[in-house]
Structure 1
Amino acid sequence: MDKKTETSVAVIGLGLMGQALAGAFLKAGHPTTVWNRTAAKADKLVAEGARLAPTIGEALATSSLTIICLTDYDAVRELLDATDLEGTTLVNLTSGDSTQAREAALWAEKRGARYLDGAIMALPPAIGTDEAVILHSGPESDLEAHRSTLEALGTISYLGADHGLASLYDVAGLAMMWSVLNAWLQGTAMLRTAGVDAATYAPFAQQMAVGVAGWLPGYAEQIDKGSFTAETSALATDVRAMTHLIEESETLGVNAELPKLFKAIADRSIAAGHGGEQYPVLIEEFSKPA
């Protein structure tokens, strides 16, 4: 057996995602210990070769690497507060925000543990495949020490030493996801008034989304330079198109809240003197609190 498959792993938390994580480690040949508050959730994994630890402490003590996937960061600290963490490497894949991630890192390190924070950019069925992207942040040396083991879960993406980066990327990704989906739903609602079904519109919407995504590197360069020369369209021109979108939605009897939000943000930027600049100048509005 090679070094990769000799690495022992513990998985704490056996919801749907935790079960998928443990199953991927087992499939890759890693001795896997599991623990869950409701022990019955481990039955299938035990049948596949996992070991059910009677306590969290024993799970940590018998494994080189511990993966935690619970409901929230409070649950992580509640479960591990009474557990000896000295010398343990913890990889926390619990969803939360960047402040919680940084606080958890300090908490773990003060108790003698090595700590990596992470975020899973996949649904449980994708775990163990290349399509499952697992974000990691924290000391790079700790990641590299366990990279070959963690690769059993999917594609590893290391973001940097700041423990909060994985959570920040995660929520930034959610902003992208919901924005794209909501824009598609807006267009779908409009086209349904003309008898066009969602399946017919979806390929065109997908083409638009891919095209817009292609603008991002150039727009990012403008943001990083703080220079927003209108190379293709000025914000004042874009606002006229937003007005058209609002009017069309209202005429069709479709909810116009989303396009009105677009325009309200752009109007503030124009009022601040940026009407002649390109769309990414709106970063200044997005960077302000509401």
Structure 2
Amino acid sequence: MTSEAITVLGLGNLGRALAETFVRAGHPVTVWNRSAAKTPGFSAAATVAEAVALGDLVVVAVLDNRAAQQVLSGVDVRGKALVNLTSGTPGEARELARWAYENGAEYLHGAVYAVPQTIGTAESSINYSGSPLVHERWQNVLALLGKVTFLGEDAGRASGYDAAILSGMYGLLGGFLHAAALARAGGIKAADLTPMLLSWLTDMQPALHTFAEEIDSGSYTGGESSLAMNQSGLALLIRATEAQGVPFGALSELKALVDQQVLDGRGEESLARAVESFARG
């Protein structure tokens, strides 16, 4: 057994997977959960304060950051390393970090890219930001959960990445579901469509890197995939989807972003410039 004591607050699917991973590695683990019915099989504390007192590293995995604030409120966290793996906004993470520092603790925020079943395997990765001291002191222990990536001292940065990554994920999933609905409307099985779609999306990867460079530089003069060309393509696609009885609002929303840039006289510039329309709200 190692002497590094760990506390896990919250025994939902993620929290249970975290606690089990630490136990398998030989750490003494204390858990707390609002409902004691989920704690059998672990060394459980009756209160949050008791659980926190028993851990050198305190890992929080509850419903959201509001719940994390409520769980930790009034608890003595002096000298503790707090790692919050609860999802939320960058501002919420920074607020929790401020609270931790004001109460004598070091705070690290994490965004988990894994399903609970893959925690502790090579398929799991977690981005962290916040206290460099916590990262340096506990990175080997945190690596038990999955690949560790430290994004810097801004406690909100991991959540900032998370929101952007999940937005891209849900955009992809929404696009896939719409593609499957369109295919079905045309008598095509989703299983037959998927290999072709995946092949095309794989071929699209270099374009995303090019778009990223254009967005970061603010220069969109390349224009190989111009706004005007895509405006026309989106109009045709929207008509086709409506004709098949499977419209998708996201396509119209994207076209509205493109339309704004074309109205501004940017039609010959790169499609990536549509990102500037988001900034206008």
Work out whether the TM-score is over 0.5. yes
Q: Which residue in the other structure is 1:26 paired with?
A: 23
Corresponding residue SS for 1:230 = coil
Deviation at 1:210, TM superposition (A): 2.1
Once the two structures are TM-superposed, the CA of residue 141 in structure 1 deviates from its matched residue by: 2.7
Alignment of 1:1-290 (within 5 A): 5-44=2-41, 46=42, 51-289=43-281
User: Could you report, residue by residue, the CA deviation over 1:109-159 in whole angstroms, capped at 9, with x for unpaired residues?
Assistant: 100011111111111111111211111111223201100111111111111
203-212 or 122-131, which deviates more: 203-212
CA distance in 1 between partners of 2:69 and 2:243 (Å): 53
The answer to whether the Cα contact below 8 Å between 2:223 and 2:268 also exists between their aligned partners in 1 is no
**Aligned-residue offset at 1:234:** 1.4
Cα deviation digits, residues 165-195 of structure 1 (max 9, x gap)? 1111111111111111111122222221221
In 1: Cα distance, 2:206 partner to 2:3 partner: 43
Check conservation: 1:13, 1:68, Cα contact below 8 A: yes
On the 8 A contact 2:226/2:267 being kept in 1, the answer is yes
| 1:274 partner SS | coil
> How far did residue 231 of structure 1 move?
4.5
- Structure 1 residue runs without a partner (length 5+): none
Q: Give the C-alpha shift of residue 287 in structure 1.
A: 2.0
Q: CA deviation at 1:7?
A: 1.8
- Aligned-pair CA distance for 1:12: 0.5
Native 8 Å contact 2:6 2:56 kept in 1: yes
Contact 1:7/1:149 (CA < 8 Å) preserved in 2? no
CA distance in 2, matches of 1:71, 1:245: 39
Query: What is the DSSP-based 3-state SS (H/G/I as helix, E as strand, rest coil) of the residue aligned with 2:178?
Result: helix
Secondary structure at the counterpart of residue 273 of structure 1 = coil
1:180, 1:209 within 8 Å by CA — same for their partners in 2?
Answer: no
SS of corresponding position for 1:43:
coil
- Structure 2: distance between partners of 1:31 and 1:25: 8
Over the residues paired in the alignment, what is the CA RMSD in angstroms?
1.4
Q: Say if 2:223 and 2:271, in contact at 8 Å, map to a contact too.
A: no
Separation in 2 of the partners of 1:183 and 1:208? Answer: 13
Q: Secondary structure at the match of 2:109?
A: strand
- Counterpart CA distance in 2 for 1:127 and 1:236 is 45
SS of equivalent residue, structure 1 residue 10: strand
Larger displacement relative to structure 2 (14-23 or 246-255)? 246-255
The TM-score normalised by the length of structure 2 is 0.96
The answer (yes or no) to whether the contact 2:82–2:107 under 8 Å persists in 1 is: yes
**Are the aligned partners of 2:9 and 2:15 in contact in 1 as well (CA < 8 Å)?**
yes
1:211 Cα deviation (Å)? 2.3
Letter of the structure 2 residue corresponding to residue 84 of structure 1? D
Q: What's the CA shift for 1:30?
A: 1.4
Q: Give 2:195's aligned amino acid.
A: P
The one-letter code matched in structure 2 to 1:224 is: D
Aligned residues: 281
